[in-house]
Amino acid sequence: MNCLTGDFEKDISAMEALLSSDCTVVMHRFEPKNRTGRVACCLFYCDGMALSVNINENIVRPIVSWQPPEGAFDAAVMIERRVINVAESRRCSDMTELADAVLYGDCVILCRGSSAAIVCGTKGFMSRGPEEPEGEKVIRGPREGFTEVLLRNLSFIKRRLRTTDLHIELIRLGSTSNTACAICYLDSAVDRIALDILRKRLEKVDYDGILASNHVAEQIRDHRFSPFHTTGTTERPDVACAKMLEGRICLLVDGSPVAMTLPYLLSEVFQSAEEYYVSYIYASISRLLKIMGVLFSVSVVPLYIAIINFHPEMLPTGLLFSISSSREGVPLPSVFEALALLTAFDILREAGARTPSGIGSTLSIVGALVLGQAAVEARFVSAPMVIVIAFSGITGIMVAKMQAPIILTRLGLLALSATTGIYGFMLGIITLFSLLCRMESFGTAYVSGLGFQRNRSWEDNFIRVPYSLMKKRGRSLSGEGR
């Protein structure tokens, strides 16, 4: 540990050397007007990170106008207790910690004759205000979203859960970024096994720059190579609080407006914030539609390929003639036709998502009308295939959190269906469900809660029952709930 020596000049030089890489660091020497020479101070702060008005008015001005007492005294102790007007201050002698504090917006005061410096809370950097998250918009719910500032995000949570049962643990991750992270949970509801696993995994995080919650998520999640997410994310404080009420843990990372929730189960994929602010009937219908949407999105294209290539006897005769007629003259085998269209659809979707909304809608129209219509008329592709791909693509967008698993699962099932027909499709589905059943998220089975268990977890899975029937919390995770 690199500590202050008590030699004023030597300590200033050491601090200067430590902070020399940052040209925005300001060093300011000053001393009280009276009894000049007995007390001298040196102030370090980071321009743009600290609130300079606060430093001037509440730190420098009181010290300059202070009249030090007669006799021996520790200047640092005296100034911290009697002179400066800041709500948050502490003394510290570790030079590395002092340098970190300066870089994070606090100001550090070195005093002659003291072997400890004063760290004053003067953070005042600019940040974005709370806005409604683009990806989780609701019509009737709150419009507040997390920001990039950890402490502000914590305040959003604390404002909603005004209880001493709410525990917040601060840790630092990233050897270089030294990012502050907060583990939040409700002590009476939390899944203890998940909490222990999380702590152990966080200890093992070995990464120099933690700049976003995903940097942590990828290192602590179960099944790192699975396309299915085993850690949840939300930008909404109300959702984070609801998850904590269910016994989940919320992990906030400074600099990221995305909170991580864990354990994360498959049933959560189909839940959205809006469903909790509208009628339970509409919410249940919406959820069932999303489940059907995912199933359709994954299976429609592989089933279509399997049926038209291997089992056309399953089609009604009229439909067989109609499909066969539209396939006449199309040069590509149907499986390559499907692959080409799926790729085109995903390209258009990505292009639309990355462009401004005005251009995005135009792009969609151009993609759908011009490309689709022209391709059918030029007989590059068949019209039924365009319909099937469009249906599969649109139903896949219904659950944004499942896009990666849907794309990969669809491709896998398509490959199996194209080679072995319905048998391959069924084998793929069985394999998929087997793999899902094997998965865990922080000690909880990934598919937990999908059945009608005694712990009443079904109350908020396929459907959402009225709140009057949801009497217990922590249902999905801690058995009977509390």
Partner 1 sequence: MKRLAALFLIFPLLCGCSDYAEIDSRTIVSGIAVDKTPSGYSICCEITKIHIGSGANISADTVSASGDSIMNALRNILIISGEKLYFGHTQSVIFGPEMEASDIMRAVTLFSRQNTFQLSTKLFTSPIPAADILNAEPTTEMINSFEIAKLMSIYSLPEALECTLDTFIEDYLTPGTEVFIPRVTQIWQEKEHTTEVSGISIFKGSARAGFLDIKYVPWFSLARNELKSGLINLDHPERGSIVLEIEECSASWRASEEALLTVDLDLKLVESDSDMDILEKDVQSELADLAEQECTARLGDLFSQLQHTIGSDAVGVGAKIAAQDPLLWADLESSWAEIFPDYVINTCVNARVISSGRTTGDF
Q: Which residues make up the interface to partner 1 (CB under 8 A)?
A: 308-313, 317-318, 320-330, 333-334, 379, 383, 419-421, 423-424, 427, 431, 434
Give the closest residue to 29 by CA, choosing from 51, 13, 6: 13
Judged by CB, which is closer to partner 1: 188, or 419? 419
CB of 419 to partner 1, least distance (A): 5
- Type and span of the H or E element at 171: strand 166-173
Give the tokens for residue 276: 């909790």
Give the closest residue to 216 by CA, choosing from 268, 143, 269, 150: 150
Judged by CB, which is closer to partner 1: 66, or 304? 304
Give the closest residue to 410 by CA, choosing from 390, 423, 396, 430: 396
Judged by CB, which is closer to partner 1: 43, or 385? 385
CB of 373 to partner 1, least distance (A): 12
Residue 47 has what DSSP assignment?
Answer: B
| Cβ–Cβ < 8 Å for 475, 246 | yes
Between vectors from CA 75 to CA 69 and to CA 78, what angle results, nearest 5°? Answer: 70
Judged by CB, which is closer to partner 1: 138, or 385? 385
Judged by CB, which is closer to partner 1: 208, or 377? 377
Distances (CA, A) of 332 to 342, 353, 381, 383: 14, 29, 8, 13
**Spatial separation of the C-alpha atoms in residues 469 and 477, rounded to whole Å:** 18
Distances (CA, A) of 314 to 174, 306, 317, 339, 473: 57, 10, 9, 23, 47
Judged by CB, which is closer to partner 1: 20, or 434? 434
CB of 309 to partner 1, least distance (A): 5
- Type and span of the H or E element at 120: strand 117-120
CB of 408 to partner 1, least distance (A): 16
**Spatial separation of the C-alpha atoms in residues 235 and 466, rounded to whole Å:** 25
- DSSP-assigned beta bridge partners for residue 170: 182
CB of 429 to partner 1, least distance (A): 13
CB of 416 to partner 1, least distance (A): 8
CB of 438 to partner 1, least distance (A): 10
**Spatial separation of the C-alpha atoms in residues 121 and 113, rounded to whole Å:** 23
- Type and span of the H or E element at 422: helix 403-438
CB of 305 to partner 1, least distance (A): 10
Judged by CB, which is closer to partner 1: 73, or 423? 423
CB of 466 to partner 1, least distance (A): 43
Residue with tokens 């990355």: 354
Judged by CB, which is closer to partner 1: 85, or 431? 431
CB of 349 to partner 1, least distance (A): 27
**Spatial separation of the C-alpha atoms in residues 34 and 455, rounded to whole Å:** 73
Judged by CB, which is closer to partner 1: 130, or 372? 372
Cα torsion for 58, 8, 38, 102, to the nearest 10°?
0
Using H for helix, E for strand and C for coil, what is the string for 302-358?
HHHHHHHHCCHHHCCHHHHHHHHHHHCCCCCCHHHHHHHHHHHHHHHHHHHHHCCHH
Judged by CB, which is closer to partner 1: 115, or 309? 309
**Spatial separation of the C-alpha atoms in residues 125 and 129, rounded to whole Å:** 12
CB of 220 to partner 1, least distance (A): 24
Q: Is the Cα dihedral 350, 355, 357, 363 positive or negative?
A: negative
CB of 324 to partner 1, least distance (A): 5
Judged by CB, which is closer to partner 1: 273, or 376? 376
Judged by CB, which is closer to partner 1: 325, or 343? 325
